[in-house]
Amino acid sequence: MSVVVPDEILTVTRMTEAEMRQEIAVMLFQREKLTLAQASRFAGIHRVAFQHLLASRSIPIHYGVEDFEQDIQNLRDMGRL
């Protein structure tokens, strides 16, 4: 599924497409609709950068089983496990 944000909305909000994706990702994460991994992917930024974005807004990080499993898989992919 694709979501189209009209250029008018980006102009009115004075946001880039990347900023809009980050705002949506933060909102969905905060409402616990997306995990940390899912939200950072949606935002198009590395998970650590997304965590910094959340921290800058004083939004607590919910670190669940899916996030843990994704971290384990990432470590395996990098040959560290």
Residue 19's pLDDT is: 95
**Residue numbers of the domain that contains 21:** 7-77
The answer to whether residue 1 sits within a structural domain is no
pLDDT of residue 10: 94
Collect all residues with Cβ–Cβ distance below 8 Å to 10 and sequence separation of at least 6: 16, 17, 20
Report the domain count for the chain: 1
Which segments of 1-81 does DSSP mark as H helices, in order? 7-13, 17-30, 36-43, 47-56, 65-77
Q: Which amino acid is at 48?
A: V
Instruction: Chunk the chain into consecutive blocks of 10 residues (it has 81) and report each block's average pLDDT, rounded to whole numbers.
Output: 89 95 96 91 94 94 80 85 74
pTM (two decimals): 0.74
Give the per-residue pLDDT at 62.
77
pLDDT value for 70? 81
Residue 38 lies in a domain: yes
Other CB atoms within 10 Å distance of the CB of residue 39: 23
CA distances to 66, 69, 77 from 26, rounded to whole Å, are: 18, 21, 27
